[in-house]
Amino acid sequence: MAEQVSPPKENLSTGQLIGQLSEETRTDPGQFETEIAKHTAELDQTVDGLRKRLDVTKQYRLQWDRARQRVENGAAVAADNARIALVRAQNATPREWVPILAAVPVLVGGIMLIDVTVRRKHP
């Protein structure tokens, strides 16, 4: 996920910043430099955050990695389900085969229906 960036406090000119400083800060050059460094750090943080959010290559890679992970997870679940079905089929008694055999024509019919529908929409 993209890093949360806090919006800039305000867009203030140098004169406005100086006007907001306390009398002590205005007269003490060291404290004035500290305030400037603080504001510079805030602006740098905002710029870095915006740069990260607007990095198209990075966003593409993140989306690609998420999609790949979903596909890998889905493939793993499907493989597990196939193994379970195979074990059940191998261990099934003849009486348990009746529902399995009854499901085969339904499955084949469903596949044929999908095929016909797709061919009609995209000749």
Q: Please give the pLDDT value at position 57.
A: 87
Q: Please give the pLDDT value at position 1.
A: 46
Give the separation between CA 94 and CA 96, rounded to whole angstroms. Answer: 5
Mean pLDDT per 10-residue run, the chain (123 residues)? 50 57 64 84 86 83 90 88 84 76 86 86 71
The three-state (H, E, C) secondary structure of 22-65, written as one string: CHHHHHCHHHHHHHHHHHHHHHHHHHHHHHHHCCHHHHHHHHHH
Residues in the chain: 123
Q: Please give the pLDDT value at position 2.
A: 47
Give the separation between CA 22 and CA 32, rounded to whole angstroms. Answer: 10
